[in-house]
């Protein structure tokens, strides 16, 4: 018996949101070990940027026009790039092990690909 294509009813059904959510959880776990003096700087910035990815996917999902959707998905992509930059800083300051950095970096690449697909899809809607 073939499976029916799953209907996307909520932003939580989007693979970009699901993988982005995994990224948020990984970032929160990894930043627990950052020095206390970073609590209100790099730790906070990294966590906010990570949650911004899924926040904007969710908000874009609720928009009706492809142009509006794409705007939020692009913002999400910008937040993802911010996370990638901040991860490099954390790695270079030795706040992250190579293993932790590699795991998070791999997840950011996955999310980037999924966001790019959402953007393409939203742009097609507006044609």
Q: What is the pLDDT of residues 25-67, one digit of tens each?
A: 999 999 999 999 999 999 999 999 999 999 999 999 999 999 9
- Distance from C-alpha of 59 to C-alpha of 93, rounded to nearest angstrom: 34
How many Å separate Cα 17 from the centre of its chain? 7
> Is 67 a domain residue?
yes
User: What's this model's pTM, rounded to 2 decimal places?
Assistant: 0.92
First to last CA, the chain: 36
Taking residues 5-32, what's their average pLDDT? Answer: 94
Domain contains 12: no
The predicted structure's pLDDT at residue 127: 78
| Structural domain of 116 | 36-125
CATH of the domain at 98: 1.20.1440.60
Q: Does 115 score more than 70 pLDDT?
A: yes
Is residue 93 situated within a structural domain?
Answer: yes
pLDDT score recorded for residue 1: 38
DSSP structure class, residue 14? S
Domain assignment present for residue 116? The answer is: yes
Contacting residues for 99 by C-beta, under 8 A, at least 6 apart:
none
| 19 within a domain of the structure (yes/no) | no
Residues 6+ apart with CB under 8 A from 121: none
Confidence of residue 3 (pLDDT cuts 50, 70, 90): very low
Residue 20 maps to a domain: no
How many domains are contained in the chain?
1
Given a cut of 90, whether residue 6 has pLDDT beyond it is: no
In a domain, 63, yes or no: yes
Average pLDDT over residues 70-83: 98
Question: Residue 5 has what pLDDT?
Answer: 57
What pLDDT shows up at residue 126? 79
Residue 30 counted as domain residue? no
Torsion angle of C-alpha atoms 116, 118, 122, 124, degrees rounded to 10: 70
């Amino acid at each position: 018996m073939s499976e029916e294509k799953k209907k996307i009813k909520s932003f939580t059904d989007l693979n970009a949101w699901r993988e982005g959510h995994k990224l948020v959880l990984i970032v929160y776990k990894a930043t627990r070990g950052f020095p206390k003096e970073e609590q209100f700087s790099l730790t906070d910035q990294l966590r906010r940027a990570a949650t911004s990815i899924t926040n904007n996917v969710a908000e874009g999902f609720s928009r009706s026009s492809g142009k509006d959707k794409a705007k939020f998905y692009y913002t999400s992509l910008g937040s993802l790039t911010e996370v990638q930059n901040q991860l490099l800083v954390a790695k270079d300051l030795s706040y992250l092990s190579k293993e932790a950095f590699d795991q998070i970096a791999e997840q950011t690449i996955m999310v980037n690909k999924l966001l790019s697909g959402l953007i393409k899809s939203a742009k097609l809607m507006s044609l």
